[in-house]
Amino acid sequence: MAKSSSVLIKRYTASDRLNHWTVAITFMLLALSGLALFHPAFFFLTHLFGGGPWTRILHPFAGVLLFAGFVGMMLRFWKLNRITDDDRQWLRQVGDVIRNREDRLPPVGHYNAGQKYLFWTMVVCIPLLLLTGVLVWRPYFAPLMPIFAVRLAVLLHAVAAFVIIAGIVVHIYAAIWVQGSVRAMTRGTVTRAWAKQHHPAWYREITK
């Protein structure tokens, strides 16, 4: 009898993975360079980018790349992230989620509510970051913008960045916490046992 841990199920195509990691790499560059210019405690991170001026120069270009990549992810995963009543129930039982009591939760489909809400957070934050980023982008765009817009933009940019960085910290931790998840995005496959335990509704759907 085969162990279900050795039976692999396709979760992401090579194209999905390429898209995800393009966004992930640009995100890391943006978070590190953005934090460097946000609080003096993080200013040392400018050394990773070749100093303060280079950090200022590179950050917005990385932002444009991330946005382009994210548009791809948005189109790919939009439908899979529709919020359902089960998702609302899942969220109400977040205590069970945290205590690893998945057996008490409503059956999860391709994505759980946590993943879905992260997706929608990114759908809101990334375009907002692009827009506010362009408003303060020197030397190209900021000189053309009214000062009120620049001031509002730096504040909103910081708030949106905080939300999204916090969200990604949770995302990365969740990938480590729920063992066997990382391979979905590195190899494209998960084990049958993983799918059955964490995404039973999705498992049923694909094995029908």
Partner 1 sequence: MALQTLDIQRRSATTTPSPGVRQTTEVAKLIDISKCIGCKACQTACMEWNDIRDEVGSNAGTYDNPRDLTENSWTVMRYSEVEVEQGKLEWLIRKDGCMHCADPGCLKACPSPGAIIQHGNGIVDFQQANCIGCGYCIAGCPFNVPRISRKDNKAYKCTLCSDRVGVGMEPACVKTCPTGAIVFGSKTDMIQHAEARIVDLKERGYAKAGLYDPQGVGGTHVMYVLQHADQPELYHGLPRDPAISPMVSLWKGVTKPLMSLGLGLVALAGFFHYVTVGPNEVGDEEEEV
Positions in the binding site for partner 1 (CB under 8 A): 1-5, 7, 35-43, 46, 51-53, 55-56, 98-100, 102, 136, 138-139, 142-143, 147, 150-152, 154-155, 158-159, 162, 165-166, 169-170, 173, 176-180, 191-194, 196-198
For residues 98 and 109, the answer to whether their CB atoms sit within 8 Å is no
The token pair at 105 is 């939760």
Please report how close the Cβ of residue 29 comes to partner 1 at its closest, in angstroms: 17
CA distances from 81 to 61, 74, 130, 165, 179 (A): 28, 10, 22, 20, 22
Judging by beta carbons within 10 Å of its beta carbon (0-12, 13-18, 19+), is residue 136 exposed, middle or buried? Answer: middle
Of the residues 59, 171, 198, 199, only one is catalytic, namely 171
For residues 17 and 188, the answer to whether their CB atoms sit within 8 Å is yes
Output 42 or 117, the one with its CB closest to partner 1: 42
Please report how close the Cβ of residue 64 comes to partner 1 at its closest, in angstroms: 17
For residues 184 and 192, the answer to whether their CB atoms sit within 8 Å is no
Output 179 or 186, the one with its CB closest to partner 1: 179
Query: d(Cα 136, Cα 125) in Å, to the nearest integer?
Result: 16
Output 57 or 71, the one with its CB closest to partner 1: 57
Output 18 or 166, the one with its CB closest to partner 1: 166
Residue 171 is among the residues annotated as catalytic for this protein: yes
Please report how close the Cβ of residue 15 comes to partner 1 at its closest, in angstroms: 27
Paired residues of 191 in beta bridges: 8
What phi and psi, each to the nearest 5 degrees, are found at residue 61?
-65, -40
Please report how close the Cβ of residue 128 comes to partner 1 at its closest, in angstroms: 15
First to last CA, the chain: 21
Tokens 């993975």 found at: 17
Output 37 or 91, the one with its CB closest to partner 1: 37
Please report how close the Cβ of residue 83 comes to partner 1 at its closest, in angstroms: 22
- Angle (CA) 103-98-161 rounded to 5° is 130
Give me the active site residues, please.
Answer: 171
